[in-house]
Amino acid sequence: MILTDLQPTADDIAGDVLAGLSMTPKRLPSKYFYDARGSQLFEQITRQPEYYLTRVELALLDASMPAIATAVAAHAHVVEYGSGSGRKTHRLLEGLDDPVAYTPIEISKTALLASVGRLADAFPGVEMLPVCADFTHPVPLPQPSRGTGHTLVFFPGSTLGNFLAEDAKRLLRSMRVTMGPRGRALVGIDLDKDPVLIEAAYNDAAGVTAEFTLNLLVRLNRDIGSDFDVSAFVHRATYSRERMRIETHLVSQRAQDVHLAGRSFHFDAGEAMQVEYSHKYTDHSFATLIADAGLRVVERWNDPQDWFGLRLLAP
Ligand code: AVJ
């Protein structure tokens, strides 16, 4: 198995972090949550009772799989953005009609190698073409050696929700190019619902989400040599009904100066740094988003409570 290794370097990360700390209010990119530990903590989040997203999406994927397999051409090349543990991929590869190749694009090399190893054992007939990369930048896709039908872009988990509308559109446009004129994309979206349920999902009682958020600072201190006082920050996640998104911040409990690459960044006591958005969707808001990217919904599946949706998109 050949790994295409385009993992972000310490310089890439430091550049993004310097830019984010220079903004008002300060912000950090959520993609850097996913080092080896972050990916592990995210898996732990998916097993928390409050985090309904993964549980509901897995059940929905199982229930919709026969219809998905019918709607997607045989011999597909599956390209997944942010593949994580590959639990959903397992279901997809199992259900599709003779998928030929699988290209996961994942920023955490540890998570990528572990998941692709498991999938290679389970699906010996599917060519594994792992790419370690930040999928928000253009990624040269490996070519399957067996002739394939169409490309199926798989983008589950409502990861799309981590992007602001303009960035989400840019990403969807690049997916449209990746899938080609006859391809499809299967996208998972978390739907707007009672804010109490949504806020609980991002504030689990066991504190796993808080640890996941704080791990961002731990990994930056280790990988780019910053000196955030991790113990002085707390996780805060609130739902904005107006913007239909969870807004996650790390709030400095005291005044502190953080140093990075010869520069110094001052935090006031109580200052909040924005670290993640998780947008929720209605059929209307999602339709607007994808239309601007030149895509349309060809099939839609929701769970019985309309908490989470899968959408099959075509150019
Ligand atoms: C990466 C989109 C699956 O935003 O719900 C979970 C990441 N952050 N808890 C999300 C996350 C905090 C997650 N996804």
- Flag whether pLDDT at 303 surpasses 90: yes
What is the DSSP secondary structure assignment for residue 243, as one 8-state letter?
A: T
What pLDDT, in 10s, does the model give residues 229-288?
999 999 999 999 999 999 999 999 999 999 999 999 999 999 999 999 999 999 999 999
Tell me which residue has its CA closest to atom 5 in ligand 1: 278
Cβ neighbours for 180, distance < 8 A, ≥ 6 positions apart: 150, 151, 315
Atom of ligand 1 at shortest range from CA of 158: 2
Q: Which atom of ligand 1 is nearest to the CA of 278?
A: 4
Pocket test for ligand 1, best of 239, 278, 280 (most atoms within 8 A of CB): 278
Structure tokens given for 202: 């991002």
The closest residue, in CA terms, to atom 10 on ligand 1 is 278
The question of ipTM being above 0.90 is answered as yes
State both tokens at 72.
């997607």
Nearest-CA neighbor of 293 among 143, 163, 103, 192?
163
Measured in angstroms, how far is the CA atom of residue 212 from the centroid of ligand 1? 10
pLDDT for 147 equals 82
Amino acid identity of residue 135, one-letter, is F
Length reported for the chain:
315
Closest atom of ligand 1 to 190 CA is 5
CA of 47 to the centre of ligand 1 (A): 13
Query: Ligand 1, from 31, 42, 107: best to mutate by most atoms within 8 Å of Cβ?
Result: 42
Ligand 1, CB cutoff 6 Å, lining residues: 45, 53, 157-159, 161-162, 202, 209, 276, 278
Q: Cα separations (Å) of 255 from 22, 62, 210?
A: 17, 49, 20
Q: Is 146 helix (H, G, I), strand (E, B) or coil?
A: coil
User: pLDDT digit string (tens) for 102-145?
Assistant: 999 999 999 999 999 999 999 999 999 999 999 999 999 999 99
CB burial of 32-70 (b: ≥16 within 10 Å; e: otherwise) equals bbbbebbbbbbebbbebebbbbbbbbbebbeebbeebbe
Q: How far is the CA of 313 from the centre of ligand 1 (A)?
A: 22
pLDDT tens for each residue of 167-217: 999 999 999 999 999 999 999 999 999 999 999 999 999 999 999 999 999
pLDDT digits (tens, 9 = 90+) for 3-15: 999 999 999 999 9
Residue 1: band (very low, low, confident or very high) from pLDDT cuts 50, 70, 90? confident
Instruction: Give residue 53's pLDDT band: very low, low, confident or very high (50, 70, 90).
Output: very high
Instruction: Find the helix packing angle between 87-95 and 52-71, rounded to 10°.
Output: 20
- pLDDT for res 11: 98
Q: Which residue has the CA at smallest separation from atom 11 of ligand 1?
A: 42
Which pLDDT value is given to residue 127? Answer: 98
Burial of 278 (0-12, 13-18, 19+ CB in 10 A): buried
Minimal-distance CA residue to ligand 1 atom 1: 159
Nearest CA to ligand 1 atom 2: 159
> Ligand 1 center to residue 162 CA distance, Å?
7
In the chain, what are the helix, strand and coil shares in percent, each to the nearest 5?
Answer: 40, 25, 35
- 46 vs 283: CA distance, rounded Å: 25
Residue 146 Cα to ligand 1 midpoint, Å, equals: 35
